[in-house]
Structure 1
């Protein structure tokens, strides 16, 4: 763990810094964050993908409450497909992650009332350091000619699957070029399912999990089969 979870990085990219509102469909973000939590567990060596399912390989807690709750659920259950797990985990996950970011002073919880009785929460950025680091790592990966570390490559893969180029402030030709580079990173890292495990530059166990989850999220969003 780096102190900043993949799901938190994904959420910060997806929320507008000033308005504190999500800039992408919430179901897309929820599925992406569920996949990010599972990828985090794979990076920590706690789960693996085999025979079409995700299963716990090491139930030892990581020390991160959200990860450990998910790990306990996976360890106590029978193996399920990546598609099943992202659907099971997406409900309520965003609110819990937002709560953690608020508690740490990364974002603010602005509670407003609309039409006199409807409470609407916004989460404008309070501490830019975390998101700046995330964007900096992505920018370096996009500009560089080498594959980034496992965590950044996994993040790039999720950004590509979720079509988050607009969240990076890109449109038109720049967005298309960025998407091509994101997919290139995923492919060379072995996360697209198109590179053999022997040629992957990251751990095979992680490659299998990320590739399976990327396909599951893509299928859930109905973008590709």
Structure 2
């Protein structure tokens, strides 16, 4: 697996390009990125759901440093439920992803002091090409373009689960029905609802991660209005 990890795409969508600040509740973004890594591993055939837990089925590295770090951790620990893994993995994940993006020259780290003693970091955009490609794929999927590929469908599913629709920057007719269209994409890819393990190993794993993510976001932010 090469290219940009789903968790990185999710983070770039959630940060303002100019100010370098998150535009959504950080708890939901942290949960979403943890779920994104789990989805990435499931799609790559590295983990699968069995007997109530997600466990490593293939420890072969994927080639993505952040994802492989999580894979190593999961291989070293006992299996846990999807909900447990989402909570366990969210701590510190954002800093690792931001560090990776800074190291690759996608964003830059701006350190500032507020109120004379509080150190904060902003991450303005340097190379917009990654995010532009992400937004293009999602826009095509949302506005009647070709059926999205598996990774784009997974990203759309995660965007819906963390309530990130406003970050897509759509307006007018394109903005209407976004939530419904995201749900359609997730359902069409088999990433929501129920899919038997006889039909698929990956789909139930992804669906249960997304379900755990949605429940965690609801617990943190309250039910979606």
Q: Do they fold alike, i.e. is TM over 0.5?
A: yes
Distance 1:105 1:12 in 2: 13
Unaligned runs of at least 5 residues, structure 2: none
CA offsets 1:144-175 (integer angstroms, 9 cap, x no match): 36531111000000001111111012468754
Match of 1:6 in 2: 6
Is contact 2:48–2:205 with CA below 8 Å preserved after alignment? yes
Q: What is the TM-score with the length of structure 2 in the denominator?
A: 0.91
For 1:216, the equivalent position in structure 2 comes to 212
Q: Higher mean Cα deviation, 8-17 or 49-58? A: 49-58
Where in structure 1 do 4 or more consecutive aligned residues deviate above 6 Å? 196-199
> Aligned pair in 2 of structure 1 residues 196, 34: CA closer, same or farther (>3 Å)?
same
RMSD value over aligned CA atoms?
2.0
> Aligned runs of 1:42-81 on 2, under 5 Å?
42-81=42-81
In structure 1, list runs of 5 or more residues that go unmatched.
Answer: none
Q: Which moved more, 1:114-123 or 1:128-137?
A: 114-123
Question: What is the CA-CA distance between 1:92 and the residue it aligns to?
Answer: 0.4
SS at match of 1:221: helix
How many residue pairs align between the two structures?
Answer: 220
Q: CA deviation at 1:120?
A: 1.0
Give the conservation status (yes or no) of the 8 Å contact 1:188–1:195.
no
Report what 1:158 is aligned to: 158
Decide which moves more: 173-182 or 161-170.
173-182
CA distance in 1, matches of 2:77, 2:117: 41
* Counterparts of residues 3-42 of structure 1 (less than 5 Å): 3-42=3-42
